[in-house]
């Protein structure tokens, strides 16, 4: 069965992602995350996919960062994967919910120690007077937690994007690209697939 015949886009994404992990030379888990602020201005940045299951797509961040504040005010987001070497991309739009504390704790425990300390040291998105200020906070934390486990900061956790729309794009000659849009009215509702003009 061709992957275009798969009725569940998350299952299809899994197949594409496996191929990207095997063949894409740089950060196959990198995805653009778009959010919208209270002023209606969109904002986009790159984050890393840290989990995907039937509930959606998971990433982690500082909850007090710009994206965290925007998601607190408007829990909707769009994601975009672009695997240049495969000439494929996947766009996702959906609602956003926090992951559980247990999920966040479990993932935080797997992070390299330097990243754990960095989560404490960085006031993500806040102005920084000088690089030395950040480096001093990091050094102070290294001393504080020397010989100890680094706990997850209360301001650091994850989000899950529950998809309502998933579009698969594949390059074809003459710009006659293949585009297939899966959509549903709410999480858990059945999917419909529509072929789109390129």
User: Residue-wise pLDDT tens for the chain (198 aa)?
Assistant: 466 667 899 999 999 999 999 999 889 999 999 999 999 999 999 999 999 999 999 999 999 999 999 999 999 999 999 999 999 999 999 999 999 999 999 999 999 999 999 999 999 888 999 999 999 999 999 999 999 999 999 999 999 999 999 999 999 999 999 999 999 999 999 999 999 999
Q: Is residue 125 part of a domain?
A: no
- Structural domain of 40: 3-110+152-196
Domain total of the chain:
1
Neighbour-count burial for 110-121, b at 16+ CB within 10 Å, e otherwise: ebeeeebbbbbb
Single out the residue of 63, 170, 168, 162 nearest to residue 108, CA to CA: 63
Q: What pLDDT is stored for residue 57 in this prediction? A: 98
Q: What pLDDT is stored for residue 131 in this prediction? A: 96
Catalytic residue among 12, 113, 175, 184: 175
Q: What pLDDT is stored for residue 1 in this prediction? A: 47
Q: Is residue 128 part of a domain?
A: no
Q: Is residue 140 part of a domain?
A: no
DSSP states of 3-21 as a string?
Answer: GGG-S-HHHHHHHHHHHHH
Q: Is residue 135 part of a domain?
A: no
Q: What pLDDT is stored for residue 30 in this prediction? A: 98
Looking up residue 172, the CATH number of its domain turns out to be 2.30.110.10
Q: What pLDDT is stored for residue 7 in this prediction? A: 87
Tokens 């998601």 belong to residue: 71
Q: Is residue 55 part of a domain?
A: yes
Active site residue 175: yes
Q: Is residue 103 part of a domain?
A: yes
CA–CA separation, 95 vs 37, rounded Å? 15
Beta bridge partners of 181: 167, 194
Q: Is residue 118 part of a domain?
A: no
């Amino acid at each position: 069965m061709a992957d275009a015949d798969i009725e569940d886009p998350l299952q299809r994404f899994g197949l594409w992602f496996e191929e990207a992990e095997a063949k894409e030379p740089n950060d196959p888990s990198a995805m653009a995350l778009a959010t919208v602020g209270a002023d209606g201005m969109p904002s986009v940045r790159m984050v890393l996919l840290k989990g995907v299951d039937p509930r959606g797509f998971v990433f982690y961040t500082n909850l007090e960062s710009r994206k965290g504040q925007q998601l607190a005010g408007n829990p909707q987001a769009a994601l975009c994967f672009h695997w240049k070497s495969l000439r494929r991309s996947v766009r996702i739009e959906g609602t956003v919910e926090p992951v559980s504390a247990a999920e966040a704790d479990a993932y935080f425990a797997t992070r390299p120690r330097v990243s754990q300390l960095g989560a404490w040291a960085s006031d993500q998105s806040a102005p920084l007077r000088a690089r030395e200020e950040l480096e001093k906070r990091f050094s102070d934390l290294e001393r504080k937690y020397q010989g100890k486990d680094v706990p997850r900061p209360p301001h650091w956790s994850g989000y899950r994007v529950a998809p309502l729309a998933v579009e698969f794009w594949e390059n074809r000659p003459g710009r006659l690209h293949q585009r297939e849009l899966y959509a549903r009215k709410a999480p858990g509702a059945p999917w419909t697939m529509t072929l789109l003009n390129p």
